[in-house]
Amino acid sequence: MPNKTSLSTTQKIASPDYIGLVKFLLEPFLDNPDSLEIDCEQLTQKNKIWLRVAFDSTDKGKVFGRGGRNIQAIREILNTTATLAGTSIYLDIYNHNEDKSDNLPNDRRSSNGGGRKKTGRYRPRPSRKD
């Protein structure tokens, strides 16, 4: 009968390939997968991992999904993987273009402080009698 071996508590589990996992999860949402840039920073003393991801801003809607469902699922997978490895993980998402207002067409740029809506009740204008 073969001997069953188990991992001792002193043995470390190999660190997951977070960059490969993020590529696997994000590339299906991207029109141009070559635009995906991933930076992984690991602090071994504090058991923390920071993942910084950048891609074309045109794919942002697909990556985040309706109501943020896609990115929430991706974060959950990363958090579960990190927890199993005994670490915590932070995912930051950046756009390649830093100034977002330059990407908007002229008619979408607002001059009213970020497109705030007027509050209050709708009141029709009084009709003019000339």
List domains and CATH numbers for the chain: 38-98 (3.30.300)
Q: What are the φ/ψ torsions at residue 40 (nearest 5 degrees)? A: -120, 125
Distances (CA, A) of 30 to 10, 15, 22, 114: 41, 26, 12, 28
Please tell me the distance from the alpha carbon of residue 16 to that of residue 78, in angstroms, as a whole number. 10
Sign of CA dihedral 26, 27, 29, 32: positive
Pairwise pLDDT comparison (3 vs 126), residue with the higher score: 126
Q: What is the mean pLDDT of residues 28-42?
A: 91
pLDDT tens for 44-63 read 788 899 999 999 989 999 99
Q: Among the residues of 27-113, which ranges form H helices?
A: 60-64, 69-84
Which tokens hold the place of 126?
A: 């009084």
Q: What is the mean pLDDT of residues 25-42?
A: 92
Residue 64 confidence class, pLDDT cut points 50, 70, 90: very high
